[in-house]
Structure 1
Amino acid sequence: MKQVHLAAHFPGVNNTTVWADPRSRSQIDFASFQHLARTAERGKFDFFFLAEGLRLRELKGRIHDLDVVGRPEALTVLAALAAVTERLGLAATVNATFNEPYELARRLATLDHLSQGRAAWNVVTTSDAFTGENFRRGGYLDRSERYTRAEEFVRLSRALWDSWRPDAVLADQESGRFLRDGAIRPVRHRGRHFTVEGRFNVPRGPQGHPVIIQAGDSDEGREFAAATADVIFSRHGTLEEGRAFYADVKRRLPQYGRASYQLKIMPAATFALGDTDAEAAEQAAEIRRLQVGPQTALAFLEQIWGRDMSAYDPDGPLPEVEPVVEQDVSQGRVQVADRLAVAAKWRAIAQEKGLSIRELVIELTGRQSFVGSPTTVARQIEEFVQADAADGFILVPHLTPGGLDDFVAKVVPLLQERGAFRTDYEGATLREHLGLGAAA
């Protein structure tokens, strides 16, 4: 039986978080991060996952309402969490477009040492000029260059991590600690995006390499994951889509000399639990309404239509006007490639189901992946994994920081009873939790 892998995503600044719930707490208070991380570790999860935002998003020139608290720097938070957890992996999203390999490799290697082998890096890229304005270059990479730079970035980082021999430092009772001869190999790299020449100043970490996570879904992104990543953060939520994505990515691995177990596919997943399936369905519907309020519904509409929609009633029908293709009213968010096609699709769904603007946005963006009693949700998760639609899931609760509490208390024990999930950690490092084997 395949074992289910689980990770916890801190519910950050986005439309999945229910701010209005009285149980919702701070997004930047360390106590919130600590609560969720300790809950995940109590549930024997593989890792704790933090997203990243490098600029506050804007809508019509004003700060987007979902970004009002910002996002703390991930590696700093994870370094603090390393001191209050023992086995839980610690994954940071860090942008490969706006960082430099030597500096980031040092920070990740340091986290791996501080956590005794639990560090992970979610490699992301951007071609967003709006975000680029916050950085010295003041610009951005063309979309075609994003993965070229990212691939070179990761390759160079691994060369830096590998430059120290595992037995580089020798302890001697009389003379103290010293380096063996040839313990640190110089790194000489001249590539398209980076030139580095020198010796790395952090010893090889307990894992050798921090775990690499990647989230791209384009063909280029899938190829990058097959060649480079240890975990891919997929967005495919249905069984059929998940199986197709799983098969496509796994079939690419042999050309890079990799086996299936060396890349774990873990889609993001939300959930709603109730004592019965009916109660859970009611709760899921209420969560959707809270996630997509009137203002948020119009904001989603404006991203597609490219124009100010504040005059429209969110509880009324879709506008008859067509999108403005050449204009953006939001900045810092992923832009929609073909607005006219998306608008036509939205109209068809709204007409077929008789949906208002808000109801349509709820239908398209606010759905839970798993809804039901703990028994139903445990069965659904296991079915996905056994059907090769995923290796596990990165769970995104709707509450900060207690949204994972019920899942750990009620669903995890059922997965353990079914023999599909560990009852305790068998290793100390994140690589061991994920069953990846030693770093190459």
Structure 2
Amino acid sequence: MAFPKHSILQALSVLLLAWVLVHCQAPLEAEEEKKEKPLKETDTAPEVTKSEPIDCPPDCSCTAEGTVDCAGVNLIEFPAGLSDKTRQLSLQSNKLEKIPAGAFNNLPNLRELYLQNNLLSNEGMDNGTFSQLTRLECLDLSNNNLSVVPKGLPRNLVLLHLEKNSIRLIPGDALTPVRNLEYLLLHNNKLRSRSIHPNAFQGLKKLHTLHMYNNLLERVPRSLPRRAKTLMLLHNHISEIGRNDLSILYSLTELNLSYNKLTSSKLHREAFRKLRFLETLELSGNSLHSMPLGLPRSLQVLEIKNNKLNSIPDGVLMGMEKLRKLILSNNQLKLNSVYQGAWMELTALTTLDLSGNQLSHIPSDLPESLEYLYLQHNRISSVPSSAFEGTPKIKGIYLRPDTLQVCGNLVCGSLHNFPFHAN
């Protein structure tokens, strides 16, 4: 089965867009407002009444609920006259180069701020630019001209977009005050491992999703947030993973290291030993020649396509009773590359992709749980009638019929419907 190289990034973009639409874009409903935390005694921010009209800057559109939309109106200066009842401010897709001091001083109720697709630089903002936005939860600064993660970020941020800039540096004190941060998106920048301060993520106990793909990282950054659940490091220059590089990430459920420069000799056999909750591991697009040792037994999805795999060592799949999906397409596997009984050990496996390898026959030790088997672009020239007797749940078998010379009664009649299906 062919997988587009950028399908992973597209899927991530769709998931992230869905999250933003639900959590950032939609105005708060009355029931949600009831659940908001009460104001502190020192917080004198006025309550927002939805029925009251708000002042609206020229060229913008506004609603009584506190939404101000100034997106794509060719602004070159920050708009004046914003109402203190503003809850959502959209300034994306303009030509803003700077944010003047005090621009947000009169916006105590602002929850969402969209500044993506402008010309903002670090020089165009000072450390106090966002300091007055004590209620801000969503800040989007993506696709600007930032070179450093800005300081003085709002302390109550939950979602921070910094992707698609030219960020080269994360100082030690830029993110640490943002204790409520849950989503941090730093992909498509120019970050190197040595330019990330060792304390950059210290204290971010709520941060569970970190995207750092499409950067220039040579190694897994040190001192990553301990409670991170999703870590995206694909499309970097990572060439080595040491024994302890991932050891503090004991809460990880999803790790993507695809399309780096990893080799089997530089991937420590105990690198994954602490990842006891890991469910999805992606190592595609590297230069691995052997299935990694010490894989977490908690894995449900394992993808190692587009490598140089020619060996699955004895016992490497033993105990992986939760694995449902195994993608090993476009490697160099032969029948004798895999130890006898390897597939049979995967008692929960439903999808096995061995397409684009060098198999000469259909494996004889397929698990009973298997539903989908991908074998196209191998060297298989015959299919015995007994090939799938041990897989009663099989729903889809994918082969290239034009390469088959001999087949049993089970599949011959269906080969004209490519890809054929056997039940």
Which structure has the greater CA radius of gyration?
2
Q: Which has the higher helix share?
A: 1
Structure 2 length as normaliser, TM-score? 0.23
User: 1 or 2 for the larger relative contact order (CA 8 Å, sep ≥6)?
Assistant: 1
